[in-house]
Amino acid sequence: MRTILTQCVVAHRLGEQGLDPIQVKEWTRRVDLKTIKLVKGKERRGGFGAEFLSSFVFAMMLYMVIIGYGIMVMRGVMEEKSTRMVEVLLSSVSPMQMMVGKILGIGAASLTQVAVWLGVAVLFSTSGSALIGRKMPFSLEPETLIFFGLFFILGYFLYATFYAMIGAICDTEQDAQQIQMIVILPLMIPLFLIIFIANNPSATASVVLSMIPLFLPVLMFVRINVLVPPAIEIFGSVVILLATIAGVVWCTARIYRIGILMKGKRATLRELMRWVRYGQ
């Protein structure tokens, strides 16, 4: 009612001043700007809304899949530990082989699920416009899918190794839930930084934040999705992530070989440091 009455009153006031309301509306219409994005010399439909939406959707996918399958790794380790199955397995394989094998096995399942999701997303983005009769808010480029797969695999290995460590040092689900918040928090923080990164993909703060190993899988992908950074930064981020994964796997393997055989109380931080220092 307020909107309708306002329009009527404004039209009446303009008429009293000798002005045609229709012409005034035409004179005062806003200027529409078409936002485009240049990718390898080609124009592509873009804009902050589309970039933020696609970045947030992919970041949430990374968060949910990495956390979900990381928890599966943790529960698998705890199940083997509680049923004493691990004692039989260790007679045939080394602790490192057993840990990496579990991470690879569950990782293959997660990669299959992500591939199905991306396949559906590609199909919907290419044929969705015809189905719903309007343009989709964003389109999926091959580079986006490639980098998403790359950072998903690297992020999964990083966090799944942490979850394997939690499973090795905990006996109960309650203990594990308390500790895993330390792992979940570094994946949650990048979700709150997406708006800043999407607005300022090349800012110094964005570059520094995207090089922090625990933030890297999500934030570097967001930067690439918004505005592809220099190749040296992408290469450097992959090297940093690979080096971090190697270091975490090395430490976790030393903790894993001792923690997987221990029952009773949860290991303290001092004990974990001692296991890392004296592990073979």
Contact 70, 160 (CB under 8 A): yes
Number of domain units in the chain: 1
So what's the pLDDT on residue 85? 73
In a domain, 169, yes or no: yes
In a domain, 212, yes or no: yes
In a domain, 12, yes or no: no
- pLDDT digit string, tens, across residues 189-233: 988 988 888 888 888 999 999 999 999 999 999 888 888 888 899
pLDDT for residue 46 is more than 60: no
Q: In angstroms, rounded to a whole number, what is the distance separating the alpha carbons of residues 204 and 193?
A: 14
Average pLDDT of the segment spanning 45-70: 79
In a domain, 179, yes or no: yes
* pTM summary value: 0.76
Instruction: Provide the pLDDT confidence category of residue 241 given band limits of 50, 70 and 90.
Output: very high
Contact 111, 157 (CB under 8 A): no
Secondary structure (3-state) at 170: coil
Average pLDDT of the segment spanning 26-51: 69
Q: In angstroms, rounded to a whole number, what is the distance separating the alpha carbons of residues 148 and 220?
A: 10
In a domain, 227, yes or no: yes
In a domain, 243, yes or no: yes
Secondary structure (3-state) at 39: strand
pLDDT for residue 244 is more than 90: yes
What is the DSSP code (8-state) at residue 134? S
- pLDDT digit string, tens, across residues 135-167: 555 556 777 788 888 898 899 999 998 998 888
Q: Which helix (H) or strand (E) holds 51?
A: helix 48-82
In a domain, 8, yes or no: no
So what's the pLDDT on residue 232? 93
Instruction: Provide the pLDDT confidence category of residue 39 given band limits of 50, 70 and 90.
Output: low
So what's the pLDDT on residue 133? 52
Between the two ends of the chain, the Cα-to-Cα distance in Å is 78
In a domain, 125, yes or no: yes
Q: Which helix (H) or strand (E) holds 36?
A: strand 36-39
Residue count (the chain): 280
How high is the mean pLDDT of the chain? Answer: 81
So what's the pLDDT on residue 239? 94
Domain that includes residue 198, residue range:
25-278
